[in-house]
Amino acid sequence: MTRQLRSNFPRGSYLWSVRNAQWQAMGIPEADCEKPKIAVVNSSSELAACYSHLDKVAAIVKDAIRAAGGVPFEIRTAAPSDFVTGAGARGAYMLAARDLVTNDIEVAVEGAQLDGMVCLTSCDKTVPGHLMAAARLNVPTIVVPCGYQGSGEFRGHHCDIEDVFVSAMHAVTGKLDVETVVGMSREAIRTPGVCSGMGTANSMHIVCEALGMALPGSAPVAAMSPKMKADAAAAGTRIVQMVWDDLKPRDIMRPGAFANATRAVLAVGGSVNCIKHLQGVATEAGLEVDVYSMFERFGAEVPVLAGVRPVGEQTIEEFEAAGGCRAVLKQLRVQLDTDVLSVTGRTLAAELDEASVADAKTIRPLDNPFSRRPAITVLRGSMCPDTGIVKTGIIERKVRRFSGPAICFETSDAAIAALKDGAIRPGHVVVMRGAGASGGPAMGGGASRVVFAIDGAGLGDQVALLTDGHLSGLVCKGLVVAEVSPEAALGGPLALVHDGDTVTVDLEARRCDLEISADEMQRRRAAWQPPKPMFDRGWLQIYRRNVGPLPQGAVLVKSEPAP
């Protein structure tokens, strides 16, 4: 434990002296200037239940760091919640906040030259934000999944936030009365924590463990349960030794780790948002890893081994009790790269030697899956030359090929209005564009609202939806091709579709095509004019001007000369 720490400066030097003056005023002893200095990254917020418990978790981690011989410094970041901070700017602040979280962390940790991080990760965008910061800064880091919320019951039936979301959009189309939605909203959430289904948050918590960046056995976990508190304390203890050992994120997040995480997401039928988030982490780590191609390739190899809502009917509590991510990796072992490291400093092989599956009916073996078809399908074709993504789920679909005339909309509000007016009819391919990373910007635009409204109108099996926007991790309804890339705002084929054009989606062939001639496509492309940018000021302007394409994870890599 004599390694020179980057946070230490010669005693009496300018940087040592001014820090010592600051810390003396805060009650930190002078001797602590020589100890490992650990950032406890806390996205606490009183705006949403996802984050409302994190101050208590931070206290547990800080106590453990002190006991292990380190000095904790709690830092704060943005705390985006889809259901609260998604209200403004058509939801554009959500994905944009992911990269803001990453930059918040960089400013505090890199600016202060701290030695390590424990990231208290919770709702959808903080998880990739933390992983991206770890990959970028490459200082010893542990990610602590801070748990899922307890769901409730309404009129004798299970009720969670997914049910409220779906029901609210059913009310828009008149399928459900408003008072029922109000009643459900009162009962859906019983404790702090993230959405209780296998949405983006729980899916990304599993990604953290599968990548090796969270302690084995820590995902998923009930928020503020004894298990979650124990995991938080263990992370605080472990990070100090990681600093002395100089075990860094890029030692852990190797290409094989990304392959493992991809297989884990496919095995649980996780959120499609994991794809771009994993790609963003790989980009920040400087790896030439194509996560989209991994999902495309592994989809045929990895069956669905767990069926947690919304992809199936299991609860997240049942999944945790069966062994969670660790049990999934145990079942997948023959397909995994087990030479990769975890934050424990041990190989995945060593960790899995000690793992077990508590319930093989909930987390099934490879030879007895819930479904042999992938729950996530990556499409290519003339409509999406880069990619399009479909959450196919595990229920056998009646229709695996859909071809019909396009009906095009520039906003979700326009699409929902047309739905209410009866303009969207069986057989239509609904095109909702201008909701990509640049055009939304930040993929704001409410594509998920349109999906649930279509479902509420009883058209879920009778129309298809194409969008360059993204979907809530809770969406698993209808035939929806999301994240069509290149996006419309950059002149992708989605921008060139006209009402009445034939569009074909073929899940078996894994293609999505605009059925017009190459000459007509070229003519339309030559005539196309880019739309006027949205929200051309403040943070969203910075994001829009610098966001890269989805194949790079939509991270802030692009630069543009000032107008």
Asked if 216 and 344 count as a contact pair (C-beta separation under 8 A), the reply is yes
pTM: 0.96
Domain ranges, ordered by start, for the chain? 28-150+191-353, 151-190, 376-529
CATH of domain 28-150+191-353: 3.40.50.2300
Q: Which two tokens stand for residue 41?
A: 């990254």
* pLDDT < 50 regions, the chain: 560-563
pLDDT for 1 equals 53
Candidates 3.40.190.10, 1.20.810.10, 3.50.30.80, 3.30.70.260; correct CATH number of 376-529? 3.50.30.80
Residue 116 CA to residue 278 CA, distance in Å, equals 22
End-to-end CA distance of the chain: 52
pLDDT at site 562: 42
472 is catalytic: yes
Cis peptide before 10 (omega within 30 of 0): no
Can you give the pLDDT at residue 236? 98
Per-residue pLDDT tens for 68-100? 999 999 999 999 999 999 999 989 999 999 999
Task: Measure Cα distances from 94 to 101, 251, 472 in Å.
Answer: 11, 30, 11
110 DSSP assignment: I
Residue 2: predicted pLDDT: 66
Q: Is 154 helix (H, G, I), strand (E, B) or coil?
A: strand
Beta bridge partners of 432: 409, 467
**Token match 């988030």: residue?**
277
What's the DSSP call for residue 246? T
What does the DSSP 8-state code read for residue 59?
A: H
Angle of CA points 106, 110, 113, to nearest 5°? 155
Residue 562 pairs with which residues in a beta bridge?
A: none
* pLDDT value of position 561: 45
CA distances for 298 relative to 258, 261, 266, 433, 485, angstroms: 12, 11, 8, 29, 20
Given 43, 167, 438, 472, the catalytic residue: 472
pLDDT of residue 536: 79
